[in-house]
């Protein structure tokens, strides 16, 4: 962990370029009682979906170029997820995406394979950081604060292990973690996600990261950027490993 802490410190001080459990967003059962959640809501508009299928440099936005496809070989199976770069050699994904991995296979938006060096799971939320041996094509800047209700957001990832896909929605509010791994409020939004979307970045209209997709139970949940910032400022928030289901070991 000493190596992890020293490396994390260098990430925090380095500039970030401004401008991606079974291979899915965690599926959790719906509340047993209607209205069991208490979070602010905004009018829901019909989300739109764009599927990027042509891997040409001119065909992708900068934030799409920061997206990464993640395959976890381990726990007797192969699972799929997503991730996104926050600096030239570090990307963010979910703890349950990397849990129990024997081998992580990572590729960029245009299909280039990336070799992994170190993985650090986070204890306070469903987050993990992964260090790579080679430079990543693009990285995302982090928003300074969590987005207010009604903010337009875009999820960018690899649902179903397929092509890079962006889906659009709005921030509906903040509520309890439906998985129960964190006591911190999670960001609720309606940008559609599917299996393989876990670890996708949630982007605002300025191309800044505002959340990290991780779960769905009808509503879609993301770890807010404020929580990710807390993690980057506090290396003690990391654990050495996580189990196959993402739970800390």
Is 126 tagged catalytic? yes
pLDDT given for residue 241 in this prediction: 63
Name the CATH architecture for the domain at 2-27+38-239.
Beta Barrel (2.40)
Q: Mean pLDDT in each 10-residue stretch from start to end of the chain (249 residues)?
A: 48 33 37 34 34 49 95 86 97 92 92 93 92 96 98 96 94 95 95 93 97 93 97 80 66
Is 233 tagged catalytic? no
List the catalytic residue out of 79, 82, 96, 200.
Answer: 96
| Domain range summary for the chain, segments of one domain joined by + | 2-27+38-239
Is 198 tagged catalytic? yes
Give dist(CA 154, CA 207) in Å, integer: 9
List the catalytic residue out of 198, 200, 216, 242.
Answer: 198
List the catalytic residue out of 126, 177, 190, 219.
Answer: 126
pTM: 0.78
Contacts of 171 (CB under 8 A, 6+ apart): 42, 147, 148, 149, 150, 151, 153, 187, 188, 189, 210
């Amino acid at each position: 962990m000493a190596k992890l802490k020293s490396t994390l410190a260098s990430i925090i001080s380095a500039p970030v370029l401004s401008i991606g459990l079974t291979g899915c967003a965690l599926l959790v059962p719906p509340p047993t009682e209607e209205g069991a959640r208490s979070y602010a809501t905004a009018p829901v508009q019909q989300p739109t979906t764009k599927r990027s299928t042509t891997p040409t440099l001119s065909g992708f936005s900068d934030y799409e170029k920061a997206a990464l496809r993640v395959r976890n070989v381990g726990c007797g199976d192969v699972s799929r997820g997503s991730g996104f770069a926050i600096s030239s050699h570090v990307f963010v994904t979910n703890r349950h995406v990397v849990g129990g991995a024997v081998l992580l296979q990572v590729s960029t938006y245009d299909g280039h394979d990336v070799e992994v060096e170190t993985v650090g799971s986070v204890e306070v939320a469903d987050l993990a950081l992964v260090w790579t041996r080679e430079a990543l094509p693009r990285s995302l800047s982090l928003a300074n604060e969590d987005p207010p209700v009604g903010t337009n957001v875009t999820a960018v990832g690899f649902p179903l292990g397929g092509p890079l896909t962006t889906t659009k929605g709005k921030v509906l509010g903040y509520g309890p973690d439906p998985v129960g791994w964190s006591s911190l409020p999670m960001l609720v939004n309606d940008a559609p996600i599917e299996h393989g979307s876990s670890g996708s970045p949630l982007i605002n209209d300025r191309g800044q990261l505002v959340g990290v997709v991780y779960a769905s139970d009808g509503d879609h949940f993301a770890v807010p950027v404020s929580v990710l910032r807390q993690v980057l400022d506090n290396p003690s928030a990391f654990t050495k490993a996580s189990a196959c289901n993402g739970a800390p070991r």
